[in-house]
Amino acid sequence: MRDKVVQVLEIKMIDKRVNTFEEALQGIADSSTVLLGGFGQAGSPVELIEALIDQGATNLTVVSNNAGEGEFGLAALMKAGRIRKVICSYPRSSGSFIFEELYESGKIELEIVPQGTLSERMRAAGAGIGGFFTPTSAGTLLSQDKEVRQIDGKDYVFEKPLKADVALIKAHTADRWGNLTYNKSARNFGPAMAMAADLTIAQVQEITNLGEIDPEHVVTPGIFVNRVLEVKLEN
Amino acid sequence: MPLNRNQIAWRIAQEIEDGSYVNLGIGMPELVANYIPENREIIFHSENGILGMGPQPEKSEEDGDLINAGKKPVTLLTGGSYFNHTDSFAMVRGGHIDLCVLGAFQISKNGDLANWATLDNSKPPGVGGAMDLAVGAKNIFVMTEHCTKDGTPKIMEECSYPLTGQGVVNTIFTDLAVIDITSEGLKVREKINEISFMELQNKTGAPLIESDIKELSPPVL
């Protein structure tokens, strides 16, 4: 009798852990919109992004605060010619030469979104909100062609939710239910992106047993996460 | 002598009230943190998710997961906290940040700020968090040289570069003067002794108001 109960529990077990990059990235289609976590290198899922080159998806629209640096991670994916369009707040960082080359030769499209608007648009998508009015960008080039409404005497710009097919994020600790904690300022866009995508894949430093993350410390609840892959990195 | 950047930073730091939540823009404004008077507790916010940001660590203590908005390694003070971008910009837009210090390409007489793009379209633009900070912080101080390298005034009737925010600047701190943007116009609060009011006016692209101007005299830094 006892054995039977255990068996039933095992069948119903939720397990979001995957063991390989192939499993983690399975099913990402060409022309997808992909959210990439990170602010500069902090929180950037570099290993997942590089594995996406091998996975092969192309013609991607990528949402990322920055446009990559050096020739690794996002810059490597760009160099491989997989990205059609980048949506970001600040593409010009020192070392973003791959993006700049592609931009200047007209090989990549760029949409600039103010940083707070970028994260709020993803939060809205994840929260089922049909858009919002923000004072950010009122009276500037970035609100051209957008609805502007005066609310209590102040101008606000209508911004739509930014939904995506896939999110690749980096967190610190996960469990098999996909609960996540982050490390310091590497948290940045992770929680908003996890909410906004149909398929959220997190690379983490460590996967622990269920119950080992203090419930009070869970930052992204597992409901927003589909797959977790342990990628141990040296500090 | 016109102020050097450290001296402009020093002057701004004297103006920051005890207990303020402050965001310092990337680049020159970051210097302000070095000159906060002792006995004032100021909490620095970094838009990538830090409150209670501390100074740059020793090389051996650097942590790639603990950086500021300029992506340089920083530390966290005791009592500091981490949070995600959505919460961070709720603090910004929601009027919870007392003061933001930003750099500028141009400032207009009514407080319009241009600091994110020029008219050169060959390079990709980047706005970062500047537009959110410009509209959201309770006070905006601009830290800038009075003129560009070729002597063109940065303070003008109307900005010719794309705006970051409309009517957002409260006070401009330059290497020559401290100027408040008021409903009556650009009021010179302080200037260095070496130049006359007329000389300062000639270096400014919009009319200045002269009333009870004090000397701008920082220590040697």
Q: What would the pLDDT profile of B68-97 be if each residue is shown by its tens digit?
A: 999 999 999 999 999 999 999 999 999 999
Instruction: Quote the mean pLDDT of chain B.
Output: 97
Answer yes or no: is pLDDT of B62 > 80. Answer: yes
B86–A192: do the CB atoms touch at under 8 Å?
A: yes
Answer yes or no: is pLDDT of B170 > 90. Answer: yes
B131–A110: do the CB atoms touch at under 8 Å?
A: no
Confidence category of residue A94, pLDDT binned at 50, 70, 90: confident
For residues A113, A115, A117 and A122, what is the CA-based torsion angle, rounded to 10 degrees?
100
Q: Within chain A, how many helices (H) and strands (E) appear?
A: 7, 12
> pLDDT per residue over A30-69, tens digit each?
999 999 999 999 999 999 999 999 999 999 999 999 999 9
Smallest CA–CA distance, residue A22 to chain B, in Å, is 26
ipTM of the complex: 0.95
Nearest to A91 among B82, B85, B124 (CB): B124
pLDDT at A92: 86
pLDDT at B108: 98
Strands B177-182 and B171-173 come out as antiparallel
pLDDT at A87: 98
**Residues B33, A126: Cα–Cα separation, whole Å:** 37
B75-87 burial string, b = 16+ CB within 10 Å, else e? bbeeeeebbbbbb
A119–B89: do the CB atoms touch at under 8 Å?
A: yes
B127–A114: do the CB atoms touch at under 8 Å?
A: yes
Confidence category of residue B123, pLDDT binned at 50, 70, 90: confident
pLDDT at B61: 95
Nearest to A185 among B50, B130, B136 (CB): B50
**Residues A121, A184: Cα–Cα separation, whole Å:** 23
Q: Which of B59-68, B83-92, B115-124 has the lowest mean pLDDT?
A: B115-124
Nearest to A89 among B65, B83, B128 (CB): B128
Q: Which domains does chain B have, with CATH numbers?
A: 5-54+65-215 (3.40.1080.10)
Smallest CA–CA distance, residue B68 to chain A, in Å, is 8
Instruction: Determine whether B47 is an active site residue.
Output: yes
Answer yes or no: is pLDDT of A4 > 60. Answer: no
Confidence category of residue A230, pLDDT binned at 50, 70, 90: very high
Annotation: CATH topology of A29-112+163-230: Glutaconate Coenzyme A-transferase (3.40.1080)
Query: Two tokens at A82?
Result: 């997989």
pLDDT at B122: 79
> For residue A104, how many other CB atoms are within 10 A of its CB?
12
Residue A117 touches partner B, C-beta closer than 8 Å? yes
B126–A136: do the CB atoms touch at under 8 Å?
A: no
Q: Once rounded to an integer, what is the mean pLDDT over residues B117-144?
A: 94
pLDDT at B128: 96
pLDDT at B13: 98
Query: Considering only alpha carbons, which residue of chain B is nearest residue A67?
Result: B126
> pLDDT per residue over A5-41, tens digit each?
555 555 669 999 999 999 999 999 999 999 999 999 9
Q: Which residues contact B206 (CB under 8 A, 6 or more apart)?
A: B108, B109, B155, B156, B157, B185, B186
Query: Two tokens at A102?
Result: 């592609």
Residue A40 touches partner B, C-beta closer than 8 Å? yes
Answer yes or no: is pLDDT of B99 > 80. Answer: yes
> pLDDT per residue over B198-217, tens digit each?
999 999 999 999 989 999 99
In Å, how far are A33, A61, A117, A212 from A162, measured between CA atoms?
10, 12, 10, 33
CB A102 within 8 A of CB A125: no
